[in-house]
Structure 1
Amino acid sequence: MLFTPVLVQIVLIIFAATIFRSAFGFGESLIAVPLLALFIPLNVGVPLSVLISVTIAGFVVVQDHKKIHIKSAGGLIIYSLIGIPMGLWLLVHVGEYWVKLILGFIIIAFSGYLLSGSCLEELKQDSQKWLFVCGLLSGILGGAYGINGPPLVIYGAKRRWTAQHFRATLQAYFLIASLTGVIGYWISGLLIPKLFVYYLVSLPVLIPAILIGRAINARMQGERFFKYSYLMLLMLGILLIVNAIVPIHK
């Protein structure tokens, strides 16, 4: 297959987004999807991002399975499944513009609060109340616009997970969540041949990108990791608002 300029751009976007996801454990979709939409239709770019998410999550789960907090991941997954239909309802009935705007301001307010030096009270062990709240909100945000990450950051910060445990546990969560999304796209008829061409072309860059992200993650410890995570959340919130005001159409 000849590498056209479009294919090269797609591979570079996937490479950069995968490094980000592997380093922080979340957030690659909001980077990849708007950039992919500059070159391919959204109904191809979004499923492609989810297929990549499944691949990254599967690789990390196999690689770092001993660092996964199984019970935490299971609880977050179960409660997020309740929230996904609520998020989809918001997207359908409230409208994409308002959903993005509201989510953007909520994420900015939350990340700004934490960056100001305010600390979240530590959870010594899993709390069903917090698993429910964070899992439900993650499902709602994921169903509304595919942004599951912010509530998961809250839970990881409260449990004082290391950067390595946070990354591994989130991949266990995203493996199930993304597989559910792929099934939905298959039922909707969105898994078209061209999508798999883009996916197969992108596969060779995934492993080096995952390993680079893992090396970055290994260098981040404790409070510094979550400070960087809060900065990433702030950026995601700003990107959401910008995308709401200047939407990408393809």
Structure 2
Amino acid sequence: MIAGFGIEQALAAFAAAFAAAYVRGLAGFGMAILLVPVLALAMTPVEAVLVTNGVSVLVGLSDIRVTLRDAERSAWRIIAGVAIGTAPGLWLLSLTPPGFARLLIALVAVSAFVAVLLPRRPGAMPGHLHTGATGLVSGLLTGFAGMPGPPVVPFYVGRDIPRAVAKASMLLVFIGASTIGLVSGAALGVLEPNYLVLSLLLLPAVLAGNGLGARKFGHVADRTWRIFVAVVLGATALAALAKLAL
């Protein structure tokens, strides 16, 4: 047993964490979208969401200076919406049968892929209503699926802004969302100490994967990066649906 989880569960978590963190380092998102569906096959959805939140906070602190420097100020407004929506989302997850929750989580991954394929919009910052709604939906998905990304990725990647700004803004939102998710889990009494222990044990694999991905980020063209974003979302959606069929 490792942190209360079986050896198979822990090994699956380590492998998934490394791969998901590599994508995070290169794309600026994707760790939760990749990690939660995999973990949810080896543990309950609530455990998968909270372990992923713990990992996201820890790796986020490792590059917080660059994130704060480059992020768009809209990220803070989205985080405010996330703070409102996360606890209700986690509460709904705790009431949802695990099999049905896994199906919904897979559909969330599909929705993110579809959204990022929509035509790119001008780079001007959206209004308060659009930004706030993005944050609220992101919060609900943070609580229910551990995935703040589906509304946030199109919000930034779908606009004509520098990719460094898009990446930093997304990462800032995800750090905030994961922190709020852990606080909400503790408040609802569903956060167990062993979830945080497993998050901490996964940190070396996450830091290694994130570092490799971040080094690649500076060597790819903008168009290539945006294509990679779409491919990651599409592959994740297909994998999540395929695993449900098994």
Both structures adopt the same fold (TM-score exceeding 0.5): yes
Which of 69, 78, 81 is the aligned partner of 2:80? 78
The structure-2 alpha-carbon separation of the partners of 1:31 and 1:56, relative to structure 1 and needing over 3 Å to count, comes to same
SS of residue paired to 1:123: coil
- Tell me the distance in 2 between the aligned counterparts of 1:42 and 1:96: 7
Larger radius of gyration: 1
Conserved in 2, the CA contact under 8 Å of 1:162 and 1:221? no
Which of 45, 55, 60 is the aligned partner of 2:58? 55
TM-score under structure 1 normalisation?
A: 0.77
- 1:110 correspondence with 2:115: yes
Unaligned runs of 5+ in 1: none
Aligned partner of 1:131 in structure 2 is 131
Aligned partner of 1:33 in structure 2 is 36
Aligned partner of 2:23 in structure 1 is 20
Residue deviations 1:179-215, cap 9 Å, x none? 1111122234444343344233323333322211211
- Tell me the distance in 2 between the aligned counterparts of 1:233 and 1:177: 19
Conserved in 1, the CA contact under 8 Å of 2:37 and 2:102? no
Residue deviations 1:140-173, cap 9 Å, x none? 3333322221221222134423332222211211
- 1:150 correspondence with 2:150: yes
Conserved in 2, the CA contact under 8 Å of 1:61 and 1:168? no
- Tell me the distance in 1 between the aligned counterparts of 2:245 and 2:239: 10
CA RMSD for the aligned pairs? 3.4
Residue deviations 1:16-62, cap 9 Å, x none? 22112222222222322333345555544332211101012222222
TM-score under structure 2 normalisation?
A: 0.78
Number of residue pairs aligned between Structure 1 and Structure 2: 240
The structure-2 alpha-carbon separation of the partners of 1:222 and 1:174, relative to structure 1 and needing over 3 Å to count, comes to same
- 1:186 correspondence with 2:183: no
Instruction: Quote how far apart the aligned CAs of 1:74 are.
Output: 0.8
- Tell me the distance in 1 between the aligned counterparts of 2:167 and 2:58: 15
- The percentage of counterpart residues that share the same residue type is 22
